[in-house]
């Protein structure tokens, strides 16, 4: 299974939308980019300036709630 990280921020409606609709049973690390550690991790992936939420699957970066949910559904089917 690929390494899956979901970057979110506080008070982000799209982030909450994605978290509420993620397929069950997937191992997803949720990282809050509003924390120091989360910001450092976001900087590592060069996504600090992106619109959140952001999904990182291995090294692939996916932005936007709809593309993120579509990718998660694909991963869940594997």
pLDDT tens-digit map of 7-66: 999 999 999 999 999 999 899 999 999 999 999 999 999 999 999 999 999 999 999 999
User: For position 78, what pLDDT does the model report?
Assistant: 81
Distance CA 68, CA 6 (A): 9
Sign of CA dihedral 33, 36, 39, 44: negative
For residue 19 the two structure tokens come to 């978290």
Q: Which helix (H) or strand (E) covers residue 41, if one does?
A: helix 36-44
User: For position 1, what pLDDT does the model report?
Assistant: 74
pTM of the model: 0.94
pLDDT tens-digit map of 13-29: 999 999 999 999 899 99
Start-to-end Cα distance in the chain: 8
């Amino acid at each position: 299974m690929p390494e899956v990280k979901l970057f979110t921020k506080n008070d982000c409606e799209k982030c909450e939308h994605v978290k509420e609709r993620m397929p069950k049973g997937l191992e997803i690390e949720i990282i809050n980019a509003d924390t120091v550690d989360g910001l450092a991790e976001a900087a590592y992936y060069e996504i600090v300036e992106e619109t959140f939420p952001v999904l990182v699957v291995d090294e692939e970066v996916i932005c936007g709630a709809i593309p993120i949910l579509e990718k998660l559904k694909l991963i869940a089917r594997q």
